[in-house]
Structure 1
Amino acid sequence: MLNEVENSAATPRPPLIGTPRPRCAGSRAKRVLDIVLAAVLLIVFLPLMVVIGLAVAMSSSGPVVFRQTRVGLGERPFTMLKFRTMHRHASERPVDLAQADNHAGITGVDPFLAKPRHDPRITAVGRLLRKASLDELPQLVNVLRGDMSLVGPRPCPGGEHMRLSPEDRAKRVSVKPGLTGLWQVSGRSTITAEKAIQLDLQYIEDWRLPLDLLILLRTLPAVLRTRHAW
């Protein structure tokens, strides 16, 4: 089932304006899964999150939890949580990320995904957290709040969201953004922006609860491999 979705996402998408409301947007089963599983995961990972919080606090000055405004359901902004992985005031020290990667001998950074391999603003602890995706654990709180779902399109900052076509923007915000998704288990940081968007849209169109469960099952191996993460 997952392979079928991935393969079909490689074909051009038809116009999306005026399409029916996605099934996952109002699914009670999806929301129940989010609440139950997010609560269980928070309890299981709480000791690890405490250790991570201490490591972040001791490694560099600044808040332990980083807060950033992202675009959510219906284009409503919400505050996304994650463990801080950059030095304090990193946003005030902009760097050319593509140039930073070029200096490290790396090419092909996609500005939409904003996932360069070499960013001098990232702390040593932050680099490890990103490699294992542990910086995303606080987003389980976002899931419980109802800002996000466990599975869905990744939430974009406003600037990245507005670079999408009107059709793609409308489709992506017709559902809650997710902590993980189809493109995260299909290549993580090596996937192109175009393919990532196509996979997000295909997930929305073809959603059914077993697909969420399959993506969740594939998320753990994808995280543990860390081969395509930075």
Structure 2
Amino acid sequence: MVRRALRAWKPAALPRPSAKRVLDLTLGSALLLLAAPLLAAAALALAVQPGSGDVLTRSTRVGAGGRPFVLRSLRTRRLRLHVISRLPHVVRGDLSLVGPGPLTPDGVRDRPPGARDWRRELKPGLTGLAQVRHRSAMPWDEPDLLDQYYAEHHRLGLDLAILAEAVGAPLREAVRSLARRGKADLSDTDHRLPGYRTAE
């Protein structure tokens, strides 16, 4: 009877991770390993500064399902290290690589009543459609509309496109900046032929 019961018993199957979660785990872990030396150096530089205080900032944010979590970031914005330092949250599952921006509890409470609470359906992201498309001239509510569009149309291909844009835009800006520095500053007189004189 015991043998029959053991044969009939099957362990509960673990839920299969989604493709999005697999991407978060694999790419997030790889990026964290690559960034670890840089993050450690930045944390050390912050720690030795006189009167710098804590190396990390901590703020409560709301994740999927309305669950709050403490978001930790390096206290610096150079090289976007404050964003990269959130990669442990991606590996742990608080954040996704791509998703709507993480809101504070006050930001969640300010949502209009009766609207579909699509933010509860998705993990907030390290980057997202609103972040890569954001321009200073946009109306104040357009980032929210972009996040809502992402919530309604998100798929792995869109995530990969957003990640490519998030990485590509800073690289293009860095290349443009280097190109501008490489150009010599030429004045009007540099283009004049020898012997040219201005009219008196």
* TM norm. shorter chain > 0.5: yes
Report Cα offsets for 1:167-212 as digits up to 9, x if no partner.
5571112110000000111026664431000000100101111000
Task: Report 1:32-71 matches (<5 A).
Answer: 32-59=22-49, 60-71=51-62
Q: How many angstroms apart in 1 are the aligned matches of 2:103 and 2:116?
A: 10
Q: Is the CA contact (8 Å cut-off) linking 2:100 and 2:119 kept in structure 1?
A: yes
Q: Percent of aligned pairs with the same residue?
A: 42
Letter matched to residue 32 of structure 1? V
Structure 2 partner of 1:177: 124
Given the superposition, is the C-alpha separation of residues 82 and 191 from structure 1 closer, same or farther in structure 2, using an over 3 Å criterion?
Answer: farther
Q: How many angstroms apart in 1 are the aligned matches of 2:135 and 2:167?
A: 12
Structure 1 partner of 2:146: 199
Once the 2 structures are TM-superposed, how far is the Cα of residue 56 of structure 1 from its aligned partner? Answer: 1.8
SS class of match (1:150): strand
Question: Greater shift after overlay, 55-64 or 147-156?
Answer: 55-64
Q: Calculate the TM-score normalised by the size of structure 2.
A: 0.72
Question: Which of these residues, 53, 78, 96, is aligned with residue 69 of structure 2?
Answer: 78
Once the 2 structures are TM-superposed, how far is the Cα of residue 79 of structure 1 from its aligned partner? Answer: 1.0
Once the 2 structures are TM-superposed, how far is the Cα of residue 62 of structure 1 from its aligned partner? Answer: 1.5
Larger Rg over CA atoms:
2
Letter matched to residue 94 of structure 2? D
Matched, 1:223 2:170: yes
- Larger relative contact order (CA 8 Å, sep ≥ 6): 1
Given the superposition, is the C-alpha separation of residues 141 and 174 from structure 1 closer, same or farther in structure 2, using an over 3 Å criterion?
Answer: same
Q: Calculate the TM-score normalised by the size of structure 1.
A: 0.63
Report Cα offsets for 1:102-145 as digits up to 9, x if no partner.
xxxxxxxxxxxxxxxxxxxxxxxx3x52xx32211221111111
SS class of match (2:121): coil
Q: How many angstroms apart in 2 are the aligned matches of 1:78 and 1:193?
A: 26
Q: How many angstroms apart in 2 are the aligned matches of 1:67 and 1:189?
A: 26
Q: Is the CA contact (8 Å cut-off) linking 1:71 and 1:157 kept in structure 2?
A: yes
Once the 2 structures are TM-superposed, how far is the Cα of residue 61 of structure 1 from its aligned partner? Answer: 2.4
Q: Is the CA contact (8 Å cut-off) linking 1:72 and 1:173 kept in structure 2?
A: yes
Report Cα offsets for 1:9-66 as digits up to 9, x if no partner.
xxxxxxxxxxxxxxxxx97100000000010001111111011112222334212121
Report Cα offsets for 1:58-81 as digits up to 9, x if no partner.
334212121211011111101111
Given the superposition, is the C-alpha separation of residues 160 and 192 from structure 1 closer, same or farther in structure 2, using an over 3 Å criterion?
Answer: farther
Segments of 5+ residues of structure 2 without an aligned counterpart are 1-15, 177-200
